[in-house]
Each structure stands twice: as structure tokens, then as C-alpha cells.
A = this chain, B = another copy of it.
Amino acid sequence: MDALKQRILKDGKNLGGGILKVDGFINHQVDTGLIFACGQELARRFASIKATKVLTAEISGIGPALATGYHLGIPVVYARKSKPITMPDDVFLTLAPSHTKGRTVELIVSPEYLSGGERVLIIDDFLASGATILGLVRLAQTAGAKIVGIGALVEKCFEGGRRALEPLGVPIEALARVEKMDGQQITLAAD
């Protein structure tokens, strides 16, 4: 998706160690027009999979997921990283390693909002190692729901996430694919 790719090349920052900073338009400050255009494009790509729910993880997945769910006309569930007092005692919980936090985080979903028969589209800001998305896959599968697609704004192709998710046999879409991050450079894939 050209608008996102150009924005990454203009305002994204390669901080080294594979860390791509997009805090100015996705992750801390959000360009609302851009994020909604991204959601519209993801909704277009997943129009035929008949998803009934979008699943994401707080915090930075929420924006892309809401924009996508809005354009598909379906609700979004975001997995919590700590259990709020409004959640029942019995929950779906899994652990996922977080690269940016350098530790393992909990992903928690209430059984009230994820159940068998749902067709789940997973949306996140980044597809990197795939660890967070695989955590969301486990939550959905535990609930008896069916994963029907996986989408991200930005893929870091060199972290192997796509390969880890391919055995699921569902369409995987990323709107901008980062092929290499050498020195201070950011190189996008040509597609």
C-alpha cells in the first residue's frame, strides 16, 4: 500500500537491532487518516473470508484492528495484557514473548466475547517473529473459533513470522514489507 510505504520511508526510523520506530504515525502518535486508509485496504483484501470478528492484542494492535473491523462491519476483540476487574475469573490466557519489552506477556480474552463458531481475522500493527500473533491463534483455537486470516500493517520479512504462520493455511497480508534494515537504512520489498 503506497501511502504507508512512503510514510515509512519518510518518517520511519531504523533504531538498529531490527527495531523500526513508527511512533510518529502508528504507535504513539497516530495519523488517523492513514490508519483508516490502512483498515480499508485490509478490509478489501479480506472481503471474501467472511470473518465474524477481528482479534488483536493491546496496545498498538487496537488502531489497525478498529479501522479494519469498522470497514468490514464486524466487532473487534483486543486481548488484554492484565485482567481488569470487570472480567470474569475464568478466562482464556496464553503467554507470548515480547521482543520490544524483552519479557513474556500474558494475552487474556474473556470467554464472553470469543466462542466456537466465530470466524476470526487476526490484525496487528507488526508481523515480526509472529510470536504475538501465534499467541492470539492459540487463544482463538482454545475458544473453538476458526482462524480465517492474518493481517498486519508492517511485516519485518527478516524475522520469520510469515514462515511460522504459513502452516495455518490462511491468507496472510501485510501492507508494507520491510526486507532489510542495514545501518540506518530501511529497504522495502518491491511488491
Contact = CB atoms under 8 A, between A and B. Distances in A.
Interface of A: 13, 15, 19, 21, 23-25, 27-33, 35-36, 58-59, 62-63, 66-67, 69-70, 73-78, 80, 84-87, 100, 109-110, 112-113
A36 B74 CA distance: 12
A44 to B, nearest CB: 16
Nearest to A59: B58
A27 B73 CA distance: 18
Contacts of A77: 28-30
Contact of A66 (B35, B87, B112): B35
Contact of A75 (B31, B36, B66): B31
A109 B66 CA distance: 22
A76 B19 contact: no
A92 to B, nearest CB: 12
A75 B28 contact: no
A77 to B, nearest CB: 5
A62 B67 CA distance: 12
A70 B32 contact: yes
B85 A23 contact: no
Contacts of A30: 66, 69, 75-78
Of A29, A74, A112, chain B has the most CB atoms within 10 Å of the CB of A29
A183 to B, nearest CB: 18
